[in-house]
Amino acid sequence: MSPLLEVRNLSVAYGAIEAVRDISFTVEAGQIVSLIGSNGAGKTTTLRTISGLLRPASGEILLEGEPIHAQPAHAILGAGVAHSPEGRRLFPRMTVEENLQLGAYVRKDDGVEKDMQRVYDLFPVLGERRHNKAGLFSGGEQQMLAMGRAMMSKPRLLMLDEPSMGLSPIMTQLIFDTIKELKEQGTTILLVEQNALAALALSDQAYVIDLGRTTLQGPGHELLADQRVRDAYLGES
């Protein structure tokens, strides 16, 4: 049985600049997989390519064995890959509810109301302010909305880009708890994080990306113990 997502020898270039070079990794269904690495390592580019916003220069992206890298972004979402982008990218002049409705844009079933309630249960603050404009929210609240919005499409694979960026430690903890909870509910998660410690602690599998290449890989707890990782990303020396 093929893995949920498989990225094979992916390279992505902006004009002449290669941002991602020959990266390969797999995400098995039900896992949390994280990509960690320093700023500019190519993690965001990788996610943007998986979700169809960028085109690979070479390599393949397979969703359950089917290549998706030639598909337009909206079709990839339709295939079950949701992407909560870096910087959250909410629709600032729309209400919480409208943002969530857009998350469920491709769904034709009648469970949308129920799932929206689920998001409000998970993040009560969103429910209280469902008719407020998203642009007026704090960073943490925006992150909750961004994750809620991505969940609204009922994805098989949820890709989260830097969910903890710019958040207070308490808020970061809340977000990571939610990620764990989502996993327990059966969502597969591909996580990109600079906060390597927190990300590795909850990952089943992790890949370290440096200057566009995969340099290390292994289960999260093993990498957490790896001296090279500790030196480079966990602020020890």
Q: How far apart are CA 29 and CA 157, in angstroms?
A: 8
Q: Which is nearer to other proteins, 13 or 201 (CB)?
A: 13
Q: Which is nearer to other proteins, 65 or 87 (CB)?
A: 87
Check: CB of residue 36 under 8 Å from CB of residue 207: yes
Phi then psi dihedrals of residue 71, to 5 deg: -85, 150
Q: Which is nearer to other proteins, 45 or 205 (CB)?
A: 45
Proportion of the chain in helix, strand, coil states, percent, rounded to 5: 40, 25, 35
For residue 169, the minimal CB distance to other proteins (Å) is 24
For residue 190, the minimal CB distance to other proteins (Å) is 14
Residues that bind other proteins (CB under 8 A): 12-17, 19, 39-40, 44-45, 48, 51-58, 72-74, 77-78, 82-83, 85, 87, 89-94, 98, 101-103, 105-106, 149, 153
Q: Which is nearer to other proteins, 81 or 223 (CB)?
A: 81
Q: Which is nearer to other proteins, 64 or 91 (CB)?
A: 91
Q: b/e map of 83-101 (b: 16 or more CB within 10 Å)? A: bbbbebebeeeeebbebbb
What does DSSP assign to residue 102? H
Q: Which residues make Cβ contacts (< 8 Å) with residue 70, sequence separation at least 6?
A: 55
For residue 42, the minimal CB distance to other proteins (Å) is 8
CA distances, 87 to each of 36, 113, 132 (Å): 17, 26, 20
For residue 101, the minimal CB distance to other proteins (Å) is 6
For residue 13, the minimal CB distance to other proteins (Å) is 4
